[in-house]
Structure 1
Amino acid sequence: MTLPVPTLDHVVVNVHDGMDAAVETYRRLGFAMTPRGHHTLGSINHLAIFATNYLELIGVPPGTAGRTDILGWPIGLNGLVWGTEDSAALHAALGGAGVSCPPPGEFSRPVELPDGTRDAVFRTVRLPNDTTPAGRLYFCHHLTRDLVWRDEWRHHPNGVVDVAQAVIAAAAPQRLGALFRRMFGDGAVQPIAGGLRLVAGLTSMDVVTPAELARRFGDAAPQGDTRDEYMAALVLRTRSLAQAAGAVQAEGVRREATRLLVPATQTMGVVLQFQE
């Protein structure tokens, strides 16, 4: 039994207890970040909302201890999240595909609107943390989508409209490839130079060797330290490369013919590629 290949819901950049600096960094990169959110789980976040997906900065208030789901991972790209409209059915389908994971968990955060405060509510189905040292892979079920995808939050100075691709570096890409095939079927996973690709709606997730990562991004890519697998890069679709170049304020930015590259040292640990 396999699941239909879902769309990408969002990507998560882990900033530990450095949220104040992180949100200002992303504003300097041309993102219009949402007001700070406070989850019932104790974490805090800011979002950059795009057309069909979003980028989340996740962290904890300074002095917080015990949140190993955040503090136990390195700073940087830490979560790739697929969407679901039925978390209970998804959990059952994962079990049927031989992918064991805890049952859906629910949490919320208040959202302040001009007409009052409402709670944005989410249910998540998370693959076990030991699924990959690269970071967290999970599904998100939005019970209040209108509190996330609001038009006033979708307009960014850098012109970004979507996450086009996420890249994981892996010494052995076929290990994650086998998981994706078990979950989504053989047809969902395609061979590419230096690795493989899972196509999720309009977004692809590439799992490539460190050598292929270096070929694509050079020294702008993050270092994986001792991890065999690590989430390394995001390719972002912008309305205008010229607009992105005018909005991004960071050191070491490379303007090329078809892309703008921001090194991981300037982004809390993930190389960002802007392209039309």
Structure 2
Amino acid sequence: MARGIDHLVLAVHGLDRARAVYERLGFTVTPKAQHPFGTENHLVQLDGCFLELLGIIDPDLFPVPEPGQFSFPRFNFRFLEQFEGMSMLVLDSSDAAGDAKAFAEAGIQAYVPFAFGRDAKLPDGSLARVGFTLAFASDPSAPEAAFFTCQQRAPEHFWKPDYQRHANTAKTVLEVVMVADTPADHHMFYEAFVGTREVRATSMGLTVETARGRIRIETPAAVAATWGDAVPVADYRSPRFAAYVIGVERLEAAADCLERAGIPFERRGDRLIVPASETLGAAIAFEAVRT
């Protein structure tokens, strides 16, 4: 069965700044939380998926990875030395250890699963312990992007309705976009990572339908045709995530949030597109959820 989008890791310089930007976009942002390995985050919880605004606390706190481990903090630290924006795509999991085994059997680079816990502040101000097990995978053709599945250990403490209500009426991640000169190079990887044979190839690139949301791996020309100047495709010299689409209940509510905040956007078809220059490196489109 195909995996679905669990969350997007958005690596940023200055977590407080990132929180302010996303609140101006109309999102409710969770309180800051710290990882036990030198990073910290704010989340934007949606219906069954979320956005993770990720910052670096102190590189000296990064643990030395054991043999066969992928280093989450070190990858994001290196990413932030060159970029800001979407560094990682995360799919959901009910069995991270099984995912790691499946990745290896499918012939893609897999790693030893990594488990950790952290404290989460609940809407009433109390703390609860949440835990996760992660199964990482790598696509050698896309060294500036990382991938993993995420198995939650205490979801009852993680998902909170108060955090899932947004002024812009955001509900879900509809689509993620990667820019790549030769999308076909990534076909086998995405089949294995998502767990599907439903990867459609066109002249524009690849489209992968997941159990929650769509992944597009497209040429610079194709991305420019859809996103215009919102994505500076000339800056994408190697494959990297560039943009994502948020499904909202009411498009005009999202437009109102942007207008009141003075955030520039463009109406293109049935979307509101906010350029990457306004959204910390990853362009965002808002699109009404079809019911």
TM-score by length of 2: 0.87
- Does 2:88 match 1:79? yes
Give the aligned residue type for 1:5.
A
**Helix, strand or coil at the partner of 1:127:** strand
Alignment of 1:260-275 (within 5 A): 260-275=272-287
Return the alpha-carbon distance in structure 2 between the equivalents of residues 186 and 86 of structure 1.
Answer: 17
Return the alpha-carbon distance in structure 2 between the equivalents of residues 125 and 254 of structure 1.
Answer: 37
Return the alpha-carbon distance in structure 1 between the equivalents of residues 236 and 49 of structure 2.
Answer: 31
- 8 A Cα contact 1:220 1:261, kept in partner: yes
Name the residue aligned to 1:201.
Answer: 211
Instruction: Structure 1 unaligned segments of length 5 or more: list them.
Output: none
1:31-73 per-residue CA deviation (whole Å, 9 max, x = no partner) reads 1000001111221001111112111101113x54564322200
Name the residue aligned to 1:190.
Answer: 200
Aligned length: 271
Indicate which of 29, 54, 60 corresponds to 1:58.
54
Name the residue aligned to 1:29.
Answer: 25
CA 1:213–1:192 in structure 2 vs 1: closer, same or farther (change >3 Å)?
A: same
**Helix, strand or coil at the partner of 1:187:** coil
1:201-259 per-residue CA deviation (whole Å, 9 max, x = no partner) reads 13000000000000001111144635321101111100111100011224431134521
Return the alpha-carbon distance in structure 2 between the equivalents of residues 200 and 123 of structure 1.
Answer: 20
Alignment of 1:124-163 (within 5 A): 124-128=134-138, 130=140, 132-163=142-173
Name the residue aligned to 1:252.
Answer: 264
Instruction: Report the identity percentage.
Output: 28
Higher mean C-alpha displacement, 172-181 vs 22-31: 172-181
CA 1:122–1:259 in structure 2 vs 1: closer, same or farther (change >3 Å)?
A: same
Name the residue aligned to 2:8.
Answer: 11
**Helix, strand or coil at the partner of 1:88:** helix
**Helix, strand or coil at the partner of 1:30:** coil
- Does 2:97 match 1:91? no
Give the aligned residue type for 1:175.
D
- 8 A Cα contact 1:36 1:44, kept in partner: yes
Runs of 4+ residues over 6 Å off in structure 1: none
TM-score by length of 1: 0.91
Return the alpha-carbon distance in structure 2 between the equivalents of residues 274 and 54 of structure 1.
Answer: 15
Give the aligned residue type for 1:27.
E
1:91-144 per-residue CA deviation (whole Å, 9 max, x = no partner) reads 112221122311110112201233842211011011137462341111111111
Indicate which of 205, 210, 227 corresponds to 2:237.
227
